[in-house]
Amino acid sequence: MNLVVKNGRVVDPARKIDAVTDILIRDGKIRAIGKADNADLPQFDATGLIVAPGFFDIHVHLREPGTEEAETIATGGAAAVAGGFVAVAAMPNTKPPNDNPSITSYIVSEARRSSPALVFPIGAITKEQKGETLAEIGEMVEAGIAGVSDDGKPVMDGRLFRRALEYAQLFDLPVIQHCEDLHLSKGGVMHEGAMSARLGLKGIPAAAEDTMVSRDLILAEVTGGKYHVAHLSTRRAVEMVRAAKAQGMKITAEVTPHHFTLTDRAVSEYDTNAKMNPPLRSQEDVDALRAGIADGTIDVIACDHAPHHINLKMLEFDRAPFGITGLETAVGLALTQLKLPLPRLIEMFSLNPQKIMRITPWGVFEGSGAHLTVLDPSRQWKFDVNQSRSKSRNSPFHGWELKGKAVGTIVGGKVVYEDRK
Amino acid sequence: MKRKDLLGIQELAREEILEILDTAETLQEISTRPIKKVPALRGKTVINLFFEASTRTRTSFEIAGKRLSADVVNVTASTSSVSKGETLIDTAKTLDAMAADCVVIRHSSSGAPHTIARMTKARVINAGDGAHEHPTQALLDALTIRQRKGRLDGLKVAIVGDIAHSRVARSNAHLLTKCGSHVWLCSAPTLMPVGGHELVTENCEFLHRTHSMEEALQGADIVMMLRVQFERMDESFFPSVREYFRYYGLTRQKVEQAKPGAIIMHPGPMNRGVEIATDVADGPYSVILDQVSAGVAVRMAILFLMLGGQSS
């Protein structure tokens, strides 16, 4: 695909670029950065907008294969580009789970066929995500995985997790953990605290996350593995990650927009769209997450997009499944809630995710895949869940007024999403 | 009553609580007549929708409705048989389509009545949801207390037992602190909910917590024992019934720590020998059966106020 991205403020902190200029794209790759007078090529007018290396959400559930009534690779990909993401990493808890190269290949080929966003599958750490024996990690790498995780089903067996951290080094593959001690959290449906006490709902203590992060950090240090903590939600976990980084450990961590935006008060009316795992925590935890974002303890914002069919979310609170959609609100919430300097925002949404996952990186440089996100930080808009590209509607942010939005998404030089005022 | 639904005590104002109790007192006399029926709610349909086993609450609501001449229908629903929670929503919509005026719901999931209330035109009364609230129990307890002690303020009330799993404890804590009494929640550390010190949202200074039954009972006007809810316990909260009874069972010796003339309450059904000794349950201070009678009056009052009945 050929394209000229015209007159935007091009910002790529990794390449030390911040200038109003043009980007020339031919055959899906960036060929030149600088004034381009190629009037013969299709033009994308970025006047007054920010053009950044394409955003990458490394924590997404696409539900295909197996739960296509909630989401498909095509609809999840469409939601991703509508949220400004050129790429997503797909968690392996499909049905069957992505624990072998056939499923990986299916996801890769189906994404090429139907998804406007790039899709990088994440393989399971253990066979069937059962936490018993290692999955064929190498075979899956050959088929195209970009990381491993048993997301949603933490590897409780410390010995096995140690082996995973060791073995994945063979492929420079990140090992991503959903940190939760399943004994401590058993039966819990929301954060354990005053709200759960009042609502009579069983709590998931912060300790369930903290103890697992603590164990994993020790194993990561012992093995030197490439360890990534998914969706941090507690103050103590942030503090432990900060301390580990201060010691020089090469670990990374992510946070979701809902965890830095909402507290457990959102559950007060038993809204099942406020039910997710890890749960919405206390104000103290939210403050700690924001501090962790500000000081660089947290590397990545990823939304944990978890679509569920409405039939399941209309259940009683304690029986409804965990998870909310997030691809289309992530950037807007980050811009509205965090007021981050632009380079830091781009780092968290694009540069750091690319460093963590095993992929060929992109950015604003000659020869890069032309994957770009175009932002309008001053755009006022309102999220309407009924207009969502996702197949599911389980978002707690319906009707929220946000300031700042991704208004253009370019993948391989093709404009896959554009939102002009 | 202005609100559409009665889902919990937490959201009620003190005046609303007193209105229900005053109305209950005026209706109490009906149950002593030879013909225990008035036509106040003739032509109104009340549906008892019970997703969880209950004899006394369901019967109490049924009698309350019938004494006011409402048509009362009992539905025993199952949470497990039909395909999951579609049951809840579809059942609610079905009952609404049948033009029920009021749905009385008991459910093992906290918040289930809230979900039903959002989807129905019928008024919804929470007859106990999970470990959340059991507002009519707290109201009948309050009526019993007021009739025995002449007031609802300035009392020391010890609520002893399985606080973590108890909707009765929550509703009573809200009601009694709102009315200005000191509530002492007493349980083993394992059965006290984390965050329990913020269980109530107003008059927080009236809520106290202790692990010592002696401290809770010392000078108490009211001792309210809670049932140990074995059916909700999926982990080890205490080593054995014998050990539980040693520390948290109400015996005659322990009763003596309370104020002379203190009354003993229990929402039932009791586990005799687990949280309460038989001689105490059947003893002179026990008002357990008064609670049952107050239950009918309080539920009559609520149905009457909610369904806009005419005095006769």
Q: Which of B88, B195, B201 sits opposite A316 (nearest CB)?
A: B88
What are the CA-CA distances from residue A300 to residues A303, A392, B113, B291 (Å)?
Answer: 10, 24, 39, 58
How close does chain A come to B204, measured CA to CA in Å?
Answer: 13
For residue B209, pLDDT beyond 80: yes
| Residue-wise pLDDT tens digits, A395-410 | 999 999 999 999 999 9
- pLDDT given at position B312: 41
pLDDT tens track for A287-325? 999 999 999 999 999 999 999 999 888 889 999 999 999
Q: Which of A238, A252, A159 is nearest to A206 (CA)?
A: A238
* CA-based nearest residue in chain B for residue A206: B194
A304 catalytic per annotation: yes
**Tell me, what's the ipTM?**
0.92
Which one of B10, B110, B118, B197 would you mutate to disrupt binding with A, by most A Cβ within 10 Å of its Cβ? Answer: B110
Is B234 part of the contact surface with chain A (CB cutoff 8 Å)?
Answer: yes
Determine whether the interchain pair A197/B196 forms a contact, defined as Cβ–Cβ distance below 8 Å.
yes
CB B111 within 8 A of CB A199: yes
Min distance A311 CA to chain B CA atoms (Å): 7
Per CATH, domain B135-288 is 3.40.50.1370: yes
- Average pLDDT over every residue of A42-69: 97
Question: Chain B: nearest CA to A390, how far in angstroms?
Answer: 23
For position B55, what pLDDT does the model report? 87
Q: Does B268 touch chain A (CB under 8 A)?
A: no
pLDDT at B82 over 50: no
CATH topology of domain B14-133+292-306: Rossmann fold (3.40.50)
- What's the gap in Å between the CA of A58 and the closest CA on chain B? 32
Given this model, what pLDDT does residue A77 score? 98
Instruction: Check B111 against A316: CB less than 8 A apart.
Output: yes
B143-180 residue pLDDT tens: 999 999 999 999 999 999 999 999 999 999 999 999 99
Chain A residues with CB-CB distance to B195 below 8 A: 192-198, 203
Mean pLDDT within A230-256: 98
**A256 token code pair:** 């979701």
Cα separation of B216 and B184, whole Å?
A: 6
Q: Decide: A375 and A404 in contact? Cβ < 8 Å.
A: yes
Query: Within an 8 Å CB–CB cutoff, is residue B195 touching chain A?
Result: yes
Instruction: Of A145, A158, A85, give the one whose Cα is nearest residue A115.
Output: A85
| pLDDT at position A129 | 96
- Residue B81's pLDDT band, with cuts at 50, 70 and 90, is very low
pTM of the model: 0.94
Residue B286 has pLDDT above 80, yes or no: yes
* Local structure of A216: helix, strand or coil: helix
Instruction: Give the closest-approach CA distance of A63 to chain B in angstroms.
Output: 21
**Chain B hits for A316, Cβ within 8 Å:** 85, 88, 107, 109, 111-112, 115
A77 to chain B, closest Cα gap in Å: 30
pLDDT in tens, A155-188: 999 999 999 999 999 999 999 999 999 999 999 9
- According to CATH, the topology of domain A3-49+375-418 is Urease, subunit C; domain 1 (2.30.40)
**Per-residue confidence (pLDDT) for residue B94, from 0 to 100:** 85
Q: Does B15 touch chain A (CB under 8 A)?
A: no
Do A241 and A251 form a contact (C-beta atoms < 8 A)? yes
B311 or B13: which carries more pLDDT confidence? Answer: B13
Tell me the β-bridge partners of A18.
Answer: A11
Provide the pLDDT for residue B311. 45
B85–A315 C-beta distance less than 8 A: yes
**Is residue B79 annotated as a catalytic residue, yes or no?**
no
Is there a contact between A319 and B235 if contact means CB atoms under 8 Å apart? no
pLDDT at A230 over 80: yes
Q: Do B112 and A192 touch (CB under 8 A)?
A: no
Hey, do B14-133+292-306 and B135-288 end up sharing a CATH topology, with the first three levels equal? yes
Contact flag B130-A198 (C-beta cutoff 8 Å): no
pLDDT of residue B75: 86
Q: Inter-chain contact B112–A201, Cβ cutoff 8 Å?
A: no
Distance from CA of B66 to the nearest CA of A (A): 30
CATH topology of domain A55-361: TIM Barrel (3.20.20)
What average pLDDT does the segment A217-230 reach? 98
Residues A206-217 have a mean pLDDT of 98
Chain A contact for B2 (CB, 8 A cutoff): no
Q: Band of the pLDDT at A196, cuts 50, 70, 90?
A: very high
Instruction: Exactly one of B23, B45, B57, B120 is catalytic; name it.
Output: B57
Least confident of A379-383, B63-67, B267-271: B267-271
Tens-digit pLDDT profile for residues B233-259: 778 899 999 999 999 999 999 999 999
Task: Report the C-alpha gap between A1 and A96 in whole angstroms.
Answer: 35
pLDDT at B206 over 90: yes
Q: For chain A, list residues whose CB is within 8 angstroms of any CB belonging to chain B.
A: 186-187, 192-203, 205, 269-270, 311, 314-320
| Contact present, B192 and B239 (Cβ < 8 Å) | no
* B21-54 per-position pLDDT tens digit: 999 999 999 999 999 999 999 999 999 999 888 8
Contact between residue B163 and residue B192 where contact means Cβ atoms under 8 Å apart: yes
The size of the A-B interface in CB pairs under 8 A is 80
B75-104 residues touching A, CB cutoff 8 A = 84-86, 88-89
Q: Is B133 on the interface with A (CB under 8 A)?
A: yes
Report residue A43's pLDDT band, with 50, 70 and 90 as the boundaries: very high
Q: What is the pLDDT of residue B79?
A: 56
Q: Which residues pair with A382 in a beta bridge?
A: A401
* Chain B residues whose beta carbon lies within 8 Å of the beta carbon of residue A197: 193-196, 198-199
Mean of the per-residue pLDDT values of chain B: 92
Alpha helix (H) residue ranges in chain B: 14-27, 56-67, 86-97, 112-119, 135-149, 167-178, 213-217, 241-248, 252-255, 278-281, 288-306
The confidence band for B85, taking pLDDT boundaries of 50, 70 and 90, is low
- pLDDT, residue B83, reads 47
Structure letter (DSSP) for residue B311: P
A164: distance to nearest CA of chain B, Å?
A: 31
Q: Where do the structural domains in chain B lie, given as residue ranges?
A: 14-133+292-306, 135-288
The nearest alpha carbon in chain B to A183 belongs to B235
CA distances from A225 to A115, A179, A247, B143 (A): 32, 16, 15, 65
Best of B10, B109, B119, B174 to disrupt the A interface (most A CBs within 10 Å) is: B109
User: In the annotation, is B67 catalytic?
Assistant: no
Average per-residue pLDDT for chain A: 97
Query: Which chain A residues are Cβ-neighbours of B85 within 8 angstroms?
Result: 314-316, 319-320
Ranges of each domain in chain A: 3-49+375-418, 55-361
Choose the catalytic residue: A22, A264, A304, A376: A304
Chain A residues whose CB is inside 8 A of the B86 CB are 311, 314
Residue A1: which pLDDT band, with cuts at 50, 70 and 90? confident
Question: Which chain A residues are within 8 Å of B107, Cβ to Cβ?
Answer: 316
Cβ–Cβ contact B194 with A under 8 A: yes
Q: Is residue A85 within a helix (H) or strand (E), and if so which, with residue range?
A: strand A85-90
Considering only CB atoms, B109 lies closest to which of A269, A314, A317, namely A317
What integer pLDDT is reported at residue B89 of this predicted model?
81
pLDDT at position B92 is: 83
Residues in chain A: 421
Nearest C-alpha neighbor of A250 from the set A228, A219, A218, A276: A228
Average pLDDT over residues B115-124: 92
Give percent above pLDDT 70 in chain B. 96
- Of B58, B132, B134, B146, the catalytic one is B134
